[in-house]
Chains A and B, each alone.
Chain A
Amino acid sequence: MNDNGQENEFSDELISAYLDGELHGDELDRVSEWLQSSTEAQQTLAELEALRSSLQSLPRNQMDGDFGSRVQRLAEKTMLQSPANVNQKNNIGQESSTDQPMDPVISPRKDPPVTRGDRGWYRGAAWGVAAIAAALAMALFLPEREPTENVAMQNPAAVKDRGDAEPGYQSEEFRTAAVELDGQKSLAKESDVLAGESGAGPPPGENNELRSFSAGARDEVEHDFTEGLGDANANARFAGGRSESSGERLDAAKQRPEPLVRARERAALAGNLAAPSSPAETVASHGSVDDLAAATSPSVDVPMAESAESKVGGGGFAVKLYSSTDQRQEMADEAFADADPLASLQPAGGNGAEENLLAMSNLPGPPDFVVMLDAVSGVDVASELARNLQAQNISLRESPGQTYFRRQGIQDRDEAANRGRELGELVPSDKLKGDPGFPENRAVILDQTNPPSDDVDSDDTAEALTEEPAEEAEEAQSSELKQDLPARRLLDAIAVGGTELIYVEASRSQIGAMLAEMDVQAKLYPGAALAGSAMFGANNNREQLRKTMREGDAETVHPDAGSPGDDYEQEEDSVESELGRAPDIAPVPGIDDKRAALVRVLFVLRTAIPQAGAAALEGAAQPAADITSESSDQ
């Protein structure tokens, strides 16, 4: 070997490979021999070793704390915003050379893209897709099927293209169905379907099989539901509308188009809420729990409600509105399958339940209805809520907590919690000072009257969510989603402030229309209105409520009073007793006549992905490309 020119470089390359342990056989023997005889080769090797040492001595860089959750939020957002992009190839693979593909790349799905611009049609189609998705309400208890079979039934091509590894967190079936089906675009159209069922013959395009299935499924539901009442978990099962195996049964449900059921439920709900009685007056005029329950229970024309009423003495409930994507529904449903429906409002319920109760003590009045909104992420809930609230011309008014966090630019929940503890010192508000845990950030109040908050220093801490601050105007234009400011504020509230309670005061028709149009899973618990009433009634002195809750006295309130189940009768006495000690349960002081005429609904948010929301709005991920190929296509 010589030490000059190309041969020298080749030799050094051998030394480099020798250093890496990548030489074998003859090459290894040659280089080993050379290193023994050549000081220059030895020096080269030493330099390369030093080089390696220098590189390996570089400090390790680490990601910041909540990277994992950020990734999941971004993934959520990417799925929600650009489903088509997820499967879109970009030019990386095309511009790169492909030497030896390791594995074939599964073909991108051919689903037509669904954009926000298509949303109106998309939502309309979604109503039609009730034929697939909405049957969940009844088919929760139907016989199980194998998941792969379900996928095959819905979209055989998808199975072929994707193999068996369809991830549970994606929702292609819905998008596919939404595109393929020409669904009804409004509740009115669904009402037409109902009319057709009731004797006018099948509506155009309706499938007779659906109705025959509907009847059979209803029988099964009744049977299962009745049996379920004897179960120790009946309460949760009622509340969640699920049995232990209902997760699997959801798969079967997706195979059975059932628009009639959902249309009936929605129509019944809207009709009931549109009834011309004031819940506040109703509550005030009834002395017994049964009367109250009857007064607050909508006569929802579904067997589940009937069964529930027969078993729990009028605490009926069970309106399920399913119209989100199948898999998102399933995720949300799975997440809360065994959850106590009112755990988040119960003392010692965990996960901020105490804060929620404290937050409730700051609400304008007791709720007439409690509606659980179950979704995968805060994005789902906030966008749907904001859109429907706007459609119903219901104003949003954020709590001082949200205002503060937003103005401070706090985007992290932990930071918000820490700052919240400091807030008593930072904000000259008696309310805040008196509540270092700052539970106000748990609730957002939405109402028609939109009065300025008298409880806080409104100049600095409260402002209408619908009023876009000038300094944020430019930012709000940066993306389509950001332009939807109410949605963004709600996302902020949910993701940053940890808001779980959305308190809405509106007319019955507005609330009914909202629920009928919402594309998240909503479960109405009219009986749970008693819980709120009882809490407020038994604790007119809100400071006492605070104190009581701080001391963890679980006997003071019984928020599960309206929740059907085996324990209901035991709770009944307690609740009645509580009500008996609360003669001035309604009208609640501070609620004027105008507001007393409104329905008060407490939306309780339950999201499967914690903290999903505001952060998902920050920095859109680049459109997905086929950069995930395992093939070598650099």
Chain B
Amino acid sequence: MFDDAQLIDEALAGDAGAFGQLVENYQDRLFNTMVHVTGCREEAEDVVQDAFVQAFLKLDTFQRASAFYTWLYRIAFNISVSRRRRRRPELSVDVSRELTGKEPVDRGEAPEDRLLRDEQISQVHSALAGLNEEHRSILVLREIEGYCYESISEILGLPIGTVRSRLHRARMQLREELKETLQENPE
């Protein structure tokens, strides 16, 4: 098992397979995150693809002051921001269906449980999609990616105090969106 540093060294030496391993290691994680950040599978796929391509092309500028994935995520995030500036986000009621349409189904669930869960998932997706980009991104980084405030600060280029306050506001906004769901299905 190669660590990132070794794979990066080999990729820089011209071993395309090493970079391929890096892609394999992180593609799903990054894609999953970007699906939530962008609110669209296709958009996320494009973003992730572009991010890896840029990482491939610019690997020699990676100074390794942060983890490779952090650097990669930052590339993806910037690409996402750039793409959104060029094209307004296309949010619709179909987003949640789109997001949940290709997801795996737990065959062990009872049909009614699965339907209920799918509905909840759909609501969460819709609520996330309803947030602004800033709030959605920071929530994904914290709640889905599990980044600490310092890492989020690093990725988003924000002071830690701003991370804390923005994350709180994002949670509050999402809570409002999901209030009904949460009340119906308290944990």
* A residues in contact with B103, CB < 8 Å: 59, 61
Chain B residues closer than 8 Å to A103, beta-carbon distance: 63, 65
Contacts of B142 in A (CB 8 A): 20
Give CA–CA (A624, B27) in the complex, Å: 19
Shortest distance between the CB of B109 and any CB in chain A (Å): 12
How many Å from the CB of A51 to the closest CB on chain B? 6
> In the complex, A67→B28 CA distance in Å?
10
Q: Mark B87-103, 1 if CB is under 8 A from A, else 0.
A: 00000000000011011
Would you call B14 and A627 a contact (CB within 8 A)? no
Nearest A residue (CB) for B24: A68
Q: Which A579-634 residues sit within 8 Å CB-CB of chain B?
A: 608-609, 619, 621-622, 624-625, 627-634
Say whether A99 contacts B178, CB under 8 Å: no
Of B14, B49, B74, B186, which is within 8 A of A74 by CB?
A: B49
The answer on a CB contact under 8 Å between A22 and B143 is no
CB-based contact A630/B65 at 8 Å: yes
Q: Which of A60, A71, A74, A633 has the most CB of B within 10 A?
A: A71
The 10 closest A-B CB pairs, nearest first, are A168-B14, A632-B157, A103-B63, A628-B58, A634-B157, A627-B78, A13-B168, A59-B103, A75-B56, A16-B168
List residues of chain A with CB within 8 A of the CB of B144: 55-56, 58
CA distance A60 to B32 in the complex (A): 6
Choose among A71, A99, A627 the residue that contacts B82 (Cβ–Cβ < 8 A). A627
A52 CA / B167 CA spacing, docked (Å): 12
Q: Does A102 contact B (CB under 8 A)?
A: yes
Do B157 and A166 touch (CB < 8 A)?
no
- When chains A and B are docked, how far (Å) is the Cα of A622 from the Cα of B49? 10
A59-B65 in contact (CB<8A): no
Q: Are B143 and A106 in contact (CB under 8 A)?
A: no
Task: Give per-residue flags for B74-117: 1 if the beta carbon is below 8 A from chain A beta carbons, else 0.
Answer: 11011101110000000000000001101110000000000000
Q: Which residues of B contact A633 (CB under 8 A)?
A: 157
**Interface check A69, CB cutoff 8 A:** yes
Q: Which residues of A contact B (CB under 8 A)?
A: 9, 12-13, 16-17, 20, 22, 46-64, 67-72, 74-75, 78-79, 86, 90, 92, 96-100, 102-106, 162-163, 165-170, 327, 330-331, 334, 608-609, 619, 621-622, 624-625, 627-634
Q: How far is the CA of A55 from the CA of B12 in the complex (A)?
A: 37
For B11, the chain A residues whose CB sits under 8 A away are: 167, 169
Within the assembled complex, what's the spacing in Å between the Cα atoms of A92 and B45? 20
B138 to A: closest C-beta gap in Å: 11
* Known pairs A63-B48, A92-B78; A55 contacts B57 (CB<8 A): no
Mask for B9-26, Cβ within 8 A of A = 1, else 0?
001111110011001100
A621 to B157: give the CA distance in the assembly, Å.
25
Residue in A97, A628, A631 whose beta carbon sits within 8 Å of that of B55 in the complex: A628
Residues of chain B within 8 A of A9, CB atoms compared: 168, 172
Q: Are A61 and B35 in contact (CB under 8 A)?
A: yes
Number of interface residues of B (CB under 8 A): 83
CB pair B175–A47 under 8 Å, yes or no, is yes
Check if B57 sits within 8 Å of A78, measured CB to CB: yes
Q: In the complex, A56→B128 CA distance in Å?
A: 12
Asked whether, in the complex, the Cβ of A621 is within 8 Å of the Cβ of B171, the reply is no
List 10 interface pairs A-B (beta carbons < 8 Å), by A numbering. Answer: A22-B148, A22-B164, A55-B144, A56-B144, A61-B41, A90-B82, A92-B78, A167-B14, A628-B75, A629-B74
Nearest chain A residue, comparing its CB with the CB of B70: A630
Query: Does B7 lie at the interface of the complex (its beta carbon under 8 Å from any beta carbon of A)?
Result: no
Chain A residues with Cβ under 8 A from B148's Cβ?
20, 22
Contacts of A170 in B (CB 8 A): 57, 60
Contact in complex: B50, A622 (CB < 8 Å) = yes
Cβ distance B184 to chain A, nearest Cβ, rounded Å: 11
Which B35-78 residues sit within 8 Å CB-CB of chain A?
A: 35-36, 41, 44-46, 48-50, 52-63, 65-66, 71, 74-75, 77-78
The residues of A that contact B28 with a CB separation of less than 8 Å are 60-63
Interface membership of B6, Cβ < 8 A: no
Cβ-neighbour of A62 out of B32, B81, B83 (below 8 A): B32
Complex Cα spacing A619 to B63, Å: 30
Inside 8 A of B128's CB, which chain A residues have their CB?
55
Least CB distance, A85 to chain B, in whole angstroms: 9
* A27 vs B71: C-alpha distance when bound (angstroms): 32
Task: Choose among A22, A52, A167 the residue that contacts B12 (Cβ–Cβ < 8 A).
Answer: A167
Chain A, residue nearest B167 (CB): A16
Given A102-B66, A167-B14, A630-B74, check contact A621 B49 (CB 8 Å): yes
* Complex Cα spacing A46 to B171, Å: 13
In angstroms, Cα B173 to Cα A506, docked, is: 71
Write the nearest CB–CB distance from B161 to chain A, whole angstroms.
Answer: 10
With A63-B28, A629-B61 given, is the CB distance from A54 to B78 under 8 Å? no
Rounded to whole Å, the gap between the CB of A521 and the closest CB of chain B is 16
Are the C-beta atoms of A99 and B165 separated by less than 8 Å? no
Which residues does chain A contribute within 8 Å of B159, judged by CB atoms?
99
- Which residues of chain B come closer than 8 Å to A61, judged between CB atoms? 28, 31-32, 35, 41, 44, 99, 102-103
Q: How far is A63 from B24 in the complex, measured between Cα atoms in Å?
A: 10
The answer to whether B79 and A622 have CB atoms under 8 Å apart is: yes
Q: Please report the C-alpha to C-alpha distance between residue A20 and residue B148 in the assembled complex, in whole angstroms.
A: 8
Q: Tell me how far the C-beta of A575 lies from the nearest C-beta in chain B, rounded to whole angstroms.
A: 37
CB distance from B166 to the nearest CB of A (A): 10
- Is B4 an interface position by the 8 A CB rule? no
Given the known interface contacts A56-B143, A62-B28, the answer about A20 and B20 at a Cβ–Cβ threshold of 8 Å is no
**Which positions 148-178 of chain B face chain A at CB distance < 8 Å?**
148-149, 153-159, 164-165, 167-168, 171-172, 174-175, 178
* Additional A-B contact list (12), CB under 8 Å, known A624-B53, A634-B78: A16-B171, A52-B143, A54-B124, A59-B100, A62-B28, A62-B31, A163-B60, A331-B14, A608-B16, A627-B54, A628-B71, A633-B157
Are A165 and B60 in contact, CB atoms less than 8 angstroms apart?
Answer: yes
* Interchain nearest-CB distance for A31 vs B (Å): 13
Smallest CB–CB gap between A250 and chain B, Å? Answer: 12
Write the B130-146 contact mask toward A (1 if CB under 8 angstroms, else 0): 00000000011011100
- Distance, CA A53 to CA B144, complexed state (A): 10
> Measured between alpha carbons, how far is A86 from B187 in the docked complex, in Å?
49
The residue of chain B having its C-beta at the shortest distance from the C-beta of A327 within the complex is B14
Contacts of A46 in B (CB 8 A): 186-187
Q: For the complex, what is the distance from the CA of A619 to the CA of B56, rounded to whole Å?
A: 17
For the complex formed, measure the closest distance between the CB of B10 and the CB atoms of chain A, giving whole angstroms: 9
Per the bound structure, the CA–CA distance linking A69 and B165 in Å amounts to 41
In the assembled complex, which residues on chain B have CB atoms less than 8 Å from the CB atom of A609? 16
* Cβ-defined contact, B59 with A630, below 8 A: no
Give chain B nearest CB distance to A86 CB in angstroms: 5
A169 to B140, CA, bound (A): 34
